[in-house]
A = this chain, B = another copy of it.
Amino acid sequence: MPAQQRDLRPQGRKTVGQLLDAAVSVLAAMGYQAARVEDIVRAAKTSHGTFYLYFANKEDLLRSLAQECSEDMNRLADQLGPVGRGDDGLAELRAWILDFSNTYQRHAPVIRAWSEQQVQGPEMEELGLQAFDQITSRLVARLEVVARSASAAEPEKAAVALLALLERFSYFRISRRLYADTDEWLDTLAVMVHCGFFGGGRPPRR
């Protein structure tokens, strides 16, 4: 079984890296289902056989990518500090949204595969839910600080809504519509989120 990377020498490690990178671009461009192993292999400038030397099959590759993604997402969650109502909070938020969007960009294919639930298997499911929960609960924590007064929404639900908003924004950003304008979009989003979710633009809580 040539599945997971065993120890691997530098050479092998390099090849695995090429394959993973190639997979990211190819999956981003065509989606998981449509991408053929051949496409990935060609992009990685390696051979068909080599692919199966490091991954049991296409799904196994996705699992590897999901692992990476999950780690990055958890890191992202840790990075969001408290978001105050003032301009500092706005700036903090804007930076984090950009970080989120960039991370999403790298992992878009995995996230898409997750949400399209096309690749089953409990392990995948597990990873996806865990990443989702991790980031959601961090958002909840940050939203609770500003509490009721800022919004009628319960923090749990607001967090999910916020995540949805960010995800779609990031998706649109790469998918087709919002090529340019990234800065303006970020401004718009940051203000909107700051104001709608974090009580931005109102007097600080006493």
Number of copies: 4
Tally A residues with Cβ within 8 Å of B: 39
| Nearest CB of chain B from residue A180's CB, rounded to whole Å | 13
Whether A118 pairs with B34 at a CB distance below 8 angstroms is: yes
Residues of B within 8 A of A164 (CB): 164-165, 168-169, 171-172
24 contacts between A and B (CB under 8 A): A31-B116, A31-B117, A115-B171, A115-B175, A151-B191, A151-B192, A153-B191, A154-B184, A154-B188, A157-B184, A157-B185, A157-B189, A160-B177, A161-B165, A161-B169, A161-B192, A164-B164, A164-B168, A164-B171, A164-B172, A165-B165, A192-B197, A195-B196, A196-B197
A92 CB within 8 Å of chain B = no
Residues of B within 8 A of A33 (CB): 31, 33-34, 118
Closest to A169 in B: B164
| Nearest CB of chain B from residue A40's CB, rounded to whole Å | 15
